[in-house]
Structure 1
Amino acid sequence: MIIGIDLGTTNSAAALWRDGQPVLIPNALGDMLTPSAVSLTADGALLVGMAARERQATHPRDTVTAFKRHMGTQQIATLGKRGFNAEELSALVLRQLKADAEAFTGEPVTGAVITVPAYFNDRQRKATRRAGQLADLKVERLVNEPTAAALAFGVQTREQEPFLVFDLGGGTFDVSIVEVFDGVIEVRASSGDNRLGGEDFNERLIDLARPRLQPQSALDAADPVVLHELLRAAAERARRTLSDANEAEFAIVLDGKALSTTVTADAFEEAAAQLLQRLRDPVLRSLRDSSIRVEDLSEIVLVGGSTRMPVVRRAITRMFGRFPNATVHPDHAVALGAAVQAGLLARSAALEEVRMTDVCPFTLGVDTAEPDGRGGYRTGIFSPIIDRNTTIPASRASYYQTVSDNQKQIHFGIYQGEARDVAANVKLGEISVPVPRKPAGQIGVECRFTYDSSGLLEVDISVPGTDVTRNLVIVDDADAMTDAEIAKRRDALAALKVHPREQSENAAVLARATRCYEAFLGDQREFIGRWIGMFESALEAQEPRAIHEARQRLVDALDSVEGERFL
């Protein structure tokens, strides 16, 4: 069975194609969203999902979130005595989603379609594939997140006019312009910003509120790691409140003292002005690349939990001169689209008339030299071969000549990016081809790039008039792993003590209750403490029905204090 997975910065979700439609897969708590969070308990067990997220404010050094932003880097997060990179942490989340899918369907999951931000580069995409391998999943395809959302929207509506998918999640921002015609869902252009999302808006709220919290001496004396998590949680609550109100309380409890201030929607919008401005550039780039005018767009489709923010919706309305389409569930669309892609791969009869095309999100090219006007050459200049937003699969060729007399070979560095200087782009690999020794400019070679829908880049170099050819399939040599190395790392993750899936709901509720107990004071704290004690007594009695009833009473009590839990 192949499932679709939205591996998100803040939350992840899984879905499958069943009975002619995409179906979301609930986790052990019955939720459709699983927080992308990992935490280590005192007894050395790893928690994944909501139970881990609830521990972030109370155990910041034992919990890690937003690791998707470090995908493809060597940044290490330490939990206990072990370090984890982003792909290993992502593998733990993927493994949890795989277990949830198998529990939901009663069938083994063998493969997955995993979504990635449209602007993920080659290194980040390969890291995502490795995360899938470490989770014991065959990654059938990586699909751009806005493309997946467009697939869900396009299959649902069969919209005939071009529409724009505006995808603002917890950590990334993507835009795609899509057309649907005669069952073909065609992505015309994609653009985005890998460092822009809801977490950045939280930071602006923190910058706004922190100077107003008194006394400042209490903040200065606090553990900075603990303080930041308290502020982050308060910002998330305030941001959520501002979705429905004109002002919100920004409150933390630090060393038993309540510190609070009020933030208004207008002040938040002013503080976030720079972030809102950054939403414009990817939109303009995608419109330019697709040669589609704003007035020709039939819909502006909102995707991603951060599009719920009124400040974002107002910015979109001003940008396009119309109200956006909010009919697609912002948190579910990407996972549902991944499930549609899984259905396409499985050749579902219900999708026989549906075809999808995607685009190359980055320009691909080589480094070259150009005359410097003084008789020499300036090196390190990027020469594009496949332009960004070219429909894939694509094959393009360019021709290059020698630049010095009796040159023995031509060396190409393979790059991905948009900068003129290759040093500012991402190097994917390199290849050399021997050439006959002749005066400069008399020997030319053909360099052909072939890029397919799975993100594989093949480079072919040939010297016309000779039998000399060279071929390179781009592999990330710095991080490439053999099958044995993958198996070894997979076994190491499997050997970790992971909290039982069946107990996830109890762990999540207890973690939430602990966080609430530390966040409130006075009668509310006493009230929460009593309900925690009753729940812990039920757990010790090990009677399933009593545990279920006590857990529900505790959840109701927590909801009455802080409102219903919001993913």
Structure 2
Amino acid sequence: MSASEPVIGIDLGTTNSVVATVQDGVPRVIPGRSGQLLTPSVVAFARNGKRLVGALAKRQAITNAEDTVFAAKRLIGRRWGSKEIEDARRVLPYRLVAGPEGHDVRVELGGRTLTVQEISAMVLAELRADAEAWLGQPVSRAVITVPAYFNDGQRHATKDAGRIAGLEVLRIINEPTSAALAYGFGKQIERKVVVFDLGGGTFDVSVLDIGKSVYDVVAVGGDTYLGGEDFDRRVMDWLTFGFAKENGGIDLRQDKMALQRLRDAAERAKCELSSLPSTAIHLPFLVGGGEGKSALHLDRQLSREKLEELTKDLVDRCIAVTERTLRDAGVRPSQVGEVLLVGGMTRMPRVQQAVREFFGREPCRGVHPEEVVALGAAIQAQALSAPHAGAEVLLLDVTPQNLGLMVVGGYFQTVIPRNTTVPTSQTHLFTTVQDNQTSVRIAVLQGASERAIENELLGEFVLDGIRPARRGEVEIEVTFEISADGIVGVSARDVATGLQQSISVTATSGLTEDEMRHILDEQIDELLERKQTAREFEARRDRVLALVREIEALGPEVHDALERTRFGKDAVLKAEGVLARARTAVEARDLAALAAEEEPLERTLQLFKGLAATARPGAR
């Protein structure tokens, strides 16, 4: 790795993802290879087995709903059987299954069972390839952002996705903190800032004290299952129930293609209503005809007022979380110097109005809601990779949820309370609860409930070899550490003997090191296979293009000869069709289509050579 190798910042979003870098001291978003700044966070396997990522995957989602994955960020790091996963299974067109141990979530895609980390890694790899194409050199280091309210398991899983994508993840940072960093970059600002971040699938709110180049997070709050997807679903439900009422109870949710068309239409209508008072939703032939029945169409008018009515409780939830977070920070709305709106959903007028009413001031419009998080990540990446190259940046982030362990009676004992600045380390003394107890099980949890079972189990381990004694006589010292990434490590020590056991917590919903090695080995095999396929494609492409050039060179002579035959026009049309299909296959880099056109091109060339010979002077 070269010292001058660029580093990138990635906002891995639910709906769209963005990659950025710092060039000549200026952070900027890197456009994709097709020119777009936002890359849809969508992965698909086409019917021919080809993997598609981004805009290409999104474009074919309607006709290939079962093999197109979107909103993977809402699944990453979650436990199988959790409330959120059960909800996702009811509404997503692609199939979710339990992992081998029954803990985590897997996705069935293109005849394979993939981890959510692998799906996210495909999006990250696409962004990395875009960055390499734009920068003209390899990229292997990145800062990746996550919602502030992500727990340890979700952070671990995101870091694993980066590793699978071939990236060294320098740091995992919170999205609102990243946005604040981009907002304050290059300015001498000293004020209290609230970041209101409502994206495609998650909601965060953070309170920060910004003092020149120090970004001190005071409190965070959020909901990792609240975002634009939920607003879209309200519109989808309204359309679905209205259609059923008008058409004898037909349930569009049973038709995956119709459901995907509804999802696209709902998202488009929601976006249009940010600038229009009403919009038309027209979906012809939504339900096919047959057996003498005519096809059914959907034609509805949706007003901004109706959208606001359908989503009122979602906006109210955002404000309730904001109010609670400010209370945790000990800050009144009137004490806030600036409110930053981040995430595509903050373009919705009702969301802006709710924020304005709560804070009693106009929110800041000086940041791009969809790009600002990636720009902040790029600034942090630059600061970590070249600390002496520019202005120093100090981020003081916090842990979003209480961290502790399960104690006797099934209760949760907090060791590190939420909103503690990280990195941090805290120690707590516990005693044995039974006579002659020789081992103790340490169950590490994260959450807000006093009951252990209602919190997220991050991991567990056993401290053996404790000296036998009466209960309460043996003291166990448990130390919790949280890194700057927000990732947890725990150790337990018998105070009397010094015997110690420790783990870097890997959530039960995460990948084991063996699974990670297996995935990385598969990646190498796929890379070698892709290189071999690329070489085969290039060789076949060169042969096909040579045939195309020969055929085109014979064109004028053949045209004269064909004009004298009855079948001239048909022959020209057939030849043009073969040439057009060959060019399309070359542009799409479709090896199978290219192979299929090689023989028709050979036949066309032989035909053209024969016709050209008859058209030349002196030919009989």
Q: Deviation at 1:33? A: 0.6
Cα root mean square deviation, aligned: 2.8
TM-score under structure 1 length normalisation:
0.83
Question: Which one of 41, 46, 49 corresponds to residue 44 of structure 1?
Answer: 49
Q: Deviation at 1:467? A: 2.7
**1:403 aligned residue:** 433
User: Given the alignment of the two structures, is residue 196 of structure 1 paired with residue 220 of structure 2, yes or no?
Assistant: no
Residue 518 of structure 2 aligns to which amino acid in structure 1?
E
Percent identity for Structure 1 against Structure 2: 38
Question: Residues 134-179 of structure 1, C-alpha deviation per residue, up to 9 Å, x if partnerless?
Answer: 1111111111111111111121544311100111111111111111
User: Given the alignment of the two structures, is residue 480 of structure 1 paired with residue 512 of structure 2, yes or no?
Assistant: yes
Question: Residues 353-380 of structure 1, C-alpha deviation per residue, up to 9 Å, x if partnerless?
Answer: 32111111221101112xxxxxxxxx21
Is the contact between residue 209 and residue 263 of structure 1 (CA under 8 Å) also seen in structure 2? Answer: no
Q: Deviation at 1:125? A: 1.5
Q: Deviation at 1:439? A: 3.0
Change (3 A) 1:347 1:221: closer
**2:376 aligned residue:** 337
Q: Deviation at 1:413? A: 1.0
1:404, 1:313 → 2: CA distance? 57
Change (3 A) 1:353 1:75: closer
Residue 489 of structure 1 aligns to which amino acid in structure 2?
E
Question: Residues 287-311 of structure 1, C-alpha deviation per residue, up to 9 Å, x if partnerless?
Answer: 1222222111111100001111112
Is the contact between residue 7 and residue 13 of structure 1 (CA under 8 Å) also seen in structure 2? Answer: yes
Change (3 A) 1:537 1:237: farther
User: Which structure 2 residues correspond to residues 99-114 of structure 1 after superposition, within 5 A?
Assistant: 99-114=129-144
Change (3 A) 1:157 1:216: farther
1:229, 1:381 → 2: CA distance? 44
Q: Secondary structure at the match of 2:428?
A: strand
1:158, 1:212 → 2: CA distance? 54
User: Given the alignment of the two structures, is residue 542 of structure 1 paired with residue 583 of structure 2, yes or no?
Assistant: yes
Is the contact between residue 45 and residue 497 of structure 1 (CA under 8 Å) also seen in structure 2? Answer: no
Is the contact between residue 6 and residue 12 of structure 1 (CA under 8 Å) also seen in structure 2? Answer: yes
Residue 238 of structure 1 aligns to which amino acid in structure 2?
A
**2:473 aligned residue:** 442
Question: Which one of 5, 17, 20 corresponds to residue 15 of structure 1?
Answer: 20
The more displaced of 477-486 and 187-196 is 477-486
Is the contact between residue 460 and residue 471 of structure 1 (CA under 8 Å) also seen in structure 2? Answer: yes
User: Which structure 2 residues correspond to residues 424-503 of structure 1 after superposition, within 5 A?
Assistant: 424-433=454-463, 434-476=465-507, 479-482=511-514, 484-491=517-524, 494=527
**2:561 aligned residue:** none
Q: Secondary structure at the match of 1:178?
A: strand
**2:541 aligned residue:** none
The more displaced of 209-218 and 407-416 is 209-218
User: Which structure is higher in RCO with an 8 Å CA cutoff and minimum separation 6?
Assistant: 1
Question: Which one of 228, 248, 251 corresponds to residue 220 of structure 1?
Answer: 251
The more displaced of 402-411 and 20-29 is 402-411
Q: Highest CA radius of gyration, 1 or 2?
A: 2
Residue 407 of structure 1 aligns to which amino acid in structure 2?
Q
**1:211 aligned residue:** 241
Q: Secondary structure at the match of 1:542?
A: helix
User: Which structure 2 residues correspond to residues 263-412 of structure 1 after superposition, within 5 A?
Assistant: 263-349=302-388, 351-369=390-408, 379-412=409-442
Is the contact between residue 136 and residue 490 of structure 1 (CA under 8 Å) also seen in structure 2? Answer: no
1:244, 1:205 → 2: CA distance? 17
User: Which structure 2 residues correspond to residues 131-150 of structure 1 after superposition, within 5 A?
Assistant: 131-150=161-180
Q: Deviation at 1:272? A: 0.7
2:46, 2:492 → 1: CA distance? 54
Is the contact between residue 46 and residue 64 of structure 2 (CA under 8 Å) also seen in structure 1? Answer: no
1:435, 1:540 → 2: CA distance? 75
- Segments of structure 1 that go 5 or more residues without pairing to the other structure are 370-378, 504-534, 548-567
1:537, 1:204 → 2: CA distance? 48
**2:58 aligned residue:** 53
Would you say how many aligned residue pairs link Structure 1 and Structure 2? 505
Q: Secondary structure at the match of 1:282?
A: helix
**2:91 aligned residue:** none
Question: Residues 502-545 of structure 1, C-alpha deviation per residue, up to 9 Å, x if partnerless?
Answer: x9xxxxxxxxxxxxxxxxxxxxxxxxxxxxxxx9999547399x
Q: Deviation at 1:44? A: 1.9
The more displaced of 478-487 and 392-401 is 478-487
Question: Which one of 233, 241, 258 corresponds to residue 272 of structure 2?
Answer: 241
